[in-house]
Amino acid sequence: MDEKRMPILKHLEELRRVLIISFLSIIPTSVVCWFYRKELLHLLTRPVDRLHYKLVYIGPTEAFIANIKIAVIGGIILASPVIMWQVWSFILPALTRNEKRAVVFIMPISILLFVTGVVFGYLTVFNFGIEFLLGFGGDGLEPMLSLSKYLSFAFWFLLPFGLIFEMPLVILFLTRLGLVTPQFLAKNRRFALLIIFIISAVVTPTTDMVSQFAMAGPMYVLYEISIWISRFMKAKKRKEEETEKVEGVEEAEEVEEAEKTWETPGVSGDISDSSAVQKGGEQEDTTANNVNETSADDEVTILFIDEDPKEKRLKDIYKNITEKGNGPE
């Protein structure tokens, strides 16, 4: 985390930079998708073509706007790694080093889960939903599907699948932060099922029960998978806490052993910040690497030069002992 806090204007400038770069990244990808708009349109209309239905447009500009919509949405999907990286780069300065490493690991996983959700929804629920809904017309009715309405239905039907497939990742974060536990998730399955159906009713573009059930089913399966992920994360977190506890005990034993070493009779550690040791008050220091022995009391004065972290810790322990009157005078 940065030592200096950024002022609010600096945050706004960074946010503006993120928005500008994200917007500019969509332009070239949308241009690329424009040249492949026919292939993309054929991919989206395949469920209708398989049933031998044709799409129509009822306005002079409807077909043109529909093609622009396909190109822009395809461009957003292609530019999503850049957009997500810009969003994370805006958040990264406020995170610790370990959290930054986690973000670098989680970002590609989040993109993969989103794409997996959209593909899953297209290959399974979307095809089944189109066939089921168009089957209600019977033999006496001929469907007249508008191009713009069909594309809007497809986009708003597939987008939530990409979002709900992020559920395991969200549960992973909440478990890591200690906000939820696997026991809590398993205990509240009934309420979770109710919330899932409410979300399905809100995000589905139609009011029919088939679309709601088609979305609620995968959501509940992901919820059960999230419980197992939460259990795994909880066990890992408990193991890390036990490891830290063992390291703390070992460090305390090391400190206690160091204290006993300093309390050994006949040896005293005189750690000085000066660059030499005076002998009998007469001889002055010659270099910073000299160690002089005093023969008056047969005591050995130990001088630590170029202290490493362990010696520095022993130095602090010795100072604390001498301040309490337990060390050698």
Spatial distance between the Cα atoms of 292 and 20, rounded to a whole number of angstroms:
68
Residue 95, CA distances (Å) to 22, 90, 198, 226 in order: 22, 10, 34, 25
pLDDT of residue 314: 62
Q: What are phi and psi of 145, to 5 degrees?
A: -90, 125
57 plus 138 within the same structural domain: yes
The domain boundary residue, chosen from 237, 262, 287: 262
Residue where a domain terminates, one of 129, 157, 185: 157
Give yes or no: residues 239 and 253 share one domain. yes
pLDDT of residue 258: 67
Q: How confident is the model at residue 5 (pLDDT cuts 50, 70, 90)?
A: low
Instruction: Mark whether 187 and 320 lie in a shared domain.
Output: no
Q: Is residue 329 part of a domain?
A: no
Same-domain status, 44 and 137? yes
> Is it the case that residue 301 has pLDDT exceeding 50?
no
Residue 240 belongs to a domain:
yes
Question: For residue 27, is it within any domain?
Answer: yes
Taking alpha carbons only, the member of 142, 167, 144 closest to residue 223 is 167
- Report whether pLDDT(280) > 70: no
Of 122, 157, 192, the residue that ends a domain is 157
pLDDT more than 70, % of the chain: 71
Listed ranges 119-133, 145-159, 208-222, 296-310; the one with the highest mean pLDDT: 145-159
Please say if the pLDDT value at position 255 is more than 60: yes
Determine, yes or no, domain membership for 1.
Answer: yes
315 and 241 within one domain: no
In a domain, 16, yes or no: yes
Q: Look up residue 125 and give its amino acid.
A: V
Is pLDDT above 60 for 294? no
- 144 with 216, same domain: the answer is no
Which of 2-16, 32-46, 119-133, 202-216 is the most confident on average?
32-46
Is 84 part of a structural domain of the chain? yes
Tell whether 1 and 40 lie within a shared domain.
Answer: yes
Instruction: Let me know whether 25 and 147 are in one domain.
Output: yes
- On whether residue 291 sits in a domain, the answer given is yes
Is residue 203 domain-resident?
A: yes
Average pLDDT on 27-48 reads 91
Range of the domain at 189: 166-262
What residues contact residue 271 under an 8 Å CB cut-off, 6+ apart? 302, 303, 304, 315, 318, 319
Token pair recorded at residue 223:
């919820």
For residue 31, what pLDDT is reported? 94
- Confidence band, pLDDT 50/70/90 cuts, at residue 291: very low
Give the pLDDT of residue 212.
78
Long-range contacts of 124-129 (CB under 8 A, 24+ apart): 125/157, 125/161, 125/214, 125/215, 125/218, 126/47, 126/154, 126/157, 126/158, 127/47, 127/50, 128/214, 129/157, 129/210, 129/211, 129/214
Same domain (yes/no): 57, 185: no
Comparison of pLDDT for 282 and 127, the residue scoring more: 127
Q: Are residues 86 and 24 in the same domain?
A: yes
129 and 199 inside one domain = no
Same domain for 24 and 143?
yes
* Alpha-carbon span 114 to 272, nearest angstrom: 62
Q: Phi and psi for 53 in degrees, rounded to 5?
A: -110, 155
Q: How many domains does the chain have?
A: 3
Looking at residue 3, its pLDDT comes to 43
